[in-house]
């Protein structure tokens, strides 16, 4: 089995700048103008350009919004260079909502990307 995660962003170029810049991902394909596939070392991440206020699916009154929002699904990015990746993420617009350096089995940062999508950054196990 293979799993690919897709993230909606309001601006594809800004999405690429954030995710490729933070996680050192390469652009692998652009199947159409509103979709890019990024990847590296067994990771595949798709970015979908979707306008603010557009409907996320048929039959709902909900609309896409890119302020910080809750979703029942988020991604954990496990990285070896925790501090360097965290610094890049913040420089590229991530918000760190909580930072655990000494709690738990590994360092963890609970973050939001510049588009309001939550994600966690996980360092190596101690």
Segment 9-18 shows an average pLDDT of 98
Domain CATH number, residue 9 = 3.10.180.10
**Is the residue at 60 inside a domain?**
no
Query: What is the tally of structural domains in the chain?
Result: 1
The range of the structural domain enclosing residue 98 comes to 5-52+66-122
| Mean pLDDT, the chain, integer | 95
Question: Starting from the edge strand earliest in sequence, which strands make up the sheet with 26-32, in order?
Answer: 5-9, 43-49, 35-40, 26-32
**Is the residue at 59 inside a domain?**
no
**Is the residue at 102 inside a domain?**
yes
pLDDT at 92: 99
Q: Which residue has the tokens 């930072």?
A: 99
Residue 103 — pLDDT band, cuts 50, 70, 90? confident
5: pLDDT strictly greater than 90? yes
Q: What is the pLDDT of residues 50-76, one digit of tens each?
A: 999 898 889 999 999 999 998 889 999
């Amino acid at each position: 089995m293979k799993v690919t995660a897709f993230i909606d962003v309001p601006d594809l170029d800004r999405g690429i700048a954030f995710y490729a810049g933070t996680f050192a991902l390469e652009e692998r394909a652009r199947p159409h103008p509103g979709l890019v596939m990024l990847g590296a070392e067994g990771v595949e991440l798709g970015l979908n350009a979707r306008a603010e206020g557009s409907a996320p699916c048929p039959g709902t009154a909900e609309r896409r919004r890119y302020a910080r929002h809750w979703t029942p699904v988020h991604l954990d990015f496990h990285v070896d260079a925790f501090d360097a990746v965290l610094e890049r993420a913040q420089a590229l617009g991530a918000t760190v909502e909580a930072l655990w350096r000494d709690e738990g089995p590994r360092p963890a940062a609970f973050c939001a990307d510049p588009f309001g999508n939550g994600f966690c950054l996980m360092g190596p196990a101690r």
